[in-house]
Amino acid sequence: MAAAAATAAVKGNGGGGWLVIAVGLVRAYLAKGSYHSLYYSIEKPLKFFQTGALLEILHCAIGIVPSSVVLTSFQVMSRVFLIWAVTHSVKEVQSEDSVLLFVIAWTITEIIRYSFYTFSLLNHLPYLIKWARYTLFIVLYPMGVSGELLTIYAALPFVRQAGLYSISLPNKYNFSFDYYAFLILIMISYIPIFPQLYFHMIHQRRKILSHTEEHKKFE
């Protein structure tokens, strides 16, 4: 019981972090009167809380959260990579609308997800949160992935021009690395992996929400 309460507190803090990001976005929008370049208003908390989400992989591995380690690892690592290796490293893309697209999708998704886990651990899960968890992803996941891919695509010319993170031959290690090509491979990797994550959630939605409806019929 104490362990569940402690885990619920951790999840609550995670959800609170994304709520801070949501409030920051709204406040910046109201102050500017425009949605352009809102990324700068939430850059620091976004980096902090999304990087902290690496702990989610550990939570899945030890069974605290009943989710796939592989799919969770892909989701978390791809986000951390996008924040630090793309958006942080290529300043020119930070004002792109695609950045706001994935930030909004992540923020709504994470507030719902952390709320779901927190209330589940406390054995007090409102149906509305369960419904939101297994329904809104239908729009939010493609929205987030679109923003991620468009941001990487926007970064490509700047990466190629600057030779960012690339290693050319000859060098004493006899090793070369083309970050531009690596980013293209990252984009291609979404093709087999994203559908797995998406249809896994579709399957979970059918199983969990249909079970809830059947349970209601017998009450």
| Type of residue found at 167 | I
- Span 97-129, pLDDT tens digits: 999 999 999 999 999 999 998 999 889 999 999
What is residue 101's predicted lDDT score, i.e. its pLDDT? 97
What's 82-140 look like in SS3?
HHHHHHHCCHHHCCCHHHHHHHHHHHHHHHHHHHHHHHHHCCCCCHHHHHHHCCCHHHH
Which of 139, 182, 191, 142 lies closest to 164, judged by CA?
Answer: 182
203 to 117, 125, 197: CA distances (angstroms):
19, 20, 10
Tell whether the model's pLDDT for residue 6 goes beyond 50: no
**Mean pLDDT value of segment 20-42:** 94
Distance CA 216, CA 214 (A): 5
Q: Which residues are catalytic?
A: 141, 148
pLDDT interval class at 79 (50, 70, 90): very high
Distance CA 72, CA 61 (A): 10
Distance CA 41, CA 78 (A): 22
pLDDT interval class at 215 (50, 70, 90): low
pLDDT interval class at 139 (50, 70, 90): very high
- Span 170-201, pLDDT tens digits: 999 899 999 999 999 999 999 998 998 899 89
pLDDT interval class at 3 (50, 70, 90): very low
